[in-house]
Every structure is written in structure tokens, then in C-alpha cells.
Amino acid sequence: MLNVLVIDESRARAGEICAGLALAGYQVAAILAGAENLTAEVERLQPDIILIDTESPSRDTLEHLAAMNKDMPRPVVIFTQEEGQSMIRDALKAGVSAYVVDGLDSKRIKPVVEVARARFEDTQALRRELDEISQKLSERKLVEKAKGVLMKARGMDEEAAYQAMRKLAMERGQTMAKVARDVIDMARVLL
């Protein structure tokens, strides 16, 4: 059963949301009137998803969402009346998975939450893939730079420099990137 953190400044609306969530098979972790202590509350409550119902998301709310999204990303659904393009873009940049205009209908809660979760999982997978690719590119650049250092300092050709670093990596049980960093560091000291 999914735990949902509900944020709504209206207690009456929050009660309706909780009833809709219960009918959809979700459990309410807590109800907050605002997003001021969002990161601390998410850390304490560990909700699976965050649902915000508001007339218009405030800049403060979006900033709190963005801060929370850096350390503890969660799917976030916003139900609102605000349909401006810049607000929608700002909300998506802050980590919102689903931005639903025209308010909350309890019959739509389950499909909207499921779409938000799927979109969030896809986004997280893309971020992990991007991080891996960025890491590999950084490591590749280090290896290329270290090869250049060895070629210049020892008069080696590119293949010989690569093989020397590969041999050293295998002997030390280290990655090529670690050996490349060591070669570059040593070159700074010695040259």
C-alpha cells in the first residue's frame, strides 16, 4: 500500500483528498498545510508519493520541492487551477511528475498517481543513465589526458601509453580512471 503525503492549505479539501486516496487504496502518511519543512517531513515520514492540491503553486512551494528532489526524490502530483505555461515548466523543473489543471476529482486520483509514479521511475532511470554516461565520459577524458602525459614524458605512442596504464591498473587492481588520475597527479608534481 502506497503512503501519500498530502499538502493542502484547506483542511476541508484535504479531508476530501484523503477520502479519495482511501477509496483508491492508498494510505495517507500525513497532511501538511504547506511545504515549508518539506525535506524534513519527507525524511521523517518516508512517503512513497507527494500530492499537492492548491489554487496556484507558490514559488516557495516549488523551491521546497526542488530542494527535496535533490536529496530524496519522490513522485509529486500537483492538482491546481493554474494553467500558465511558465508555471507548468517551473513545476516540472522542481521535480513534479504530474501537473493536473482543473482541480482534483477523486475518481481520477488512482490513474493520475499511477502515471506520476511511472513517469517518475522513467525520469529516475534516465538520470541514472545520464550520470553513468557522464561518469564514463569523465573517466575517458582522464585516460586520454594521462595517455598524452605518458606519450610526452616517455616518448611512447598512444597504444604503448594505453597498454602501460592498463598493465598498471591490472597490477594494482584499480580502474583505468584511478591510474589515469595518479599519472596526471604525478605529472603535476614531477613536471
> What number of other Cβ atoms are within 10 A of residue 22's Cβ?
14
The parts of the chain modelled with pLDDT lower than 50 are none
* 3-104 and 132-190 in the same fold: no
pLDDT tens sequence across 58-76: 899 999 999 999 989 999 9
Determine the pLDDT at residue 116. 94
Q: CB of 29 within 8 A of CB of 45?
A: yes
For residues 115 and 78, the answer to whether their CB atoms sit within 8 Å is no
pLDDT of residue 191: 66
* Domain parsing of the chain, residue ranges: 3-104, 132-190
Which pLDDT value is given to residue 107? 78
**The three cell numbers locating residue 86:** 511558465
Per-residue confidence (pLDDT) for residue 122, from 0 to 100: 95
> Which of these, 188, 187, 189, 181, lies nearest to 153 by C-alpha position?
187
DSSP 91-149: HHHTT-SEEEES---GGGHHHHHHHHHHHHHHHHHHHHHHHHHHHHHHHHHHHHHHHHH
User: Which grid cell is 182?
Assistant: 595518479
Q: What is the CATH number of domain 3-104?
A: 3.40.50.2300
Residue listed under C-alpha cell 591498473 = 169
Q: From CA 37, how far away is CA 68, in angstroms rounded? A: 10
* Geometric angle at alpha carbon 27, from 21 and 32, rounded to 5°: 80
pTM greater than 0.85 (yes/no): no
Measured CA to CA, the distance from residue 146 to residue 144 in angstroms comes to 5
- Which residue in the block uniquely carries the three cell numbers 506520476? 116
Burial (0-12, 13-18, 19+ Cβ within 10 Å), 80? buried
Q: Is 74 left (phi over 0), alpha (psi -120 to 50) or beta?
A: beta
151 CB-side CA count, 13 A: 11
Q: Which CATH number fits domain 132-190: 3.40.640.10, 3.10.129.10, 1.10.3720.10, 1.10.10.10?
A: 1.10.10.10
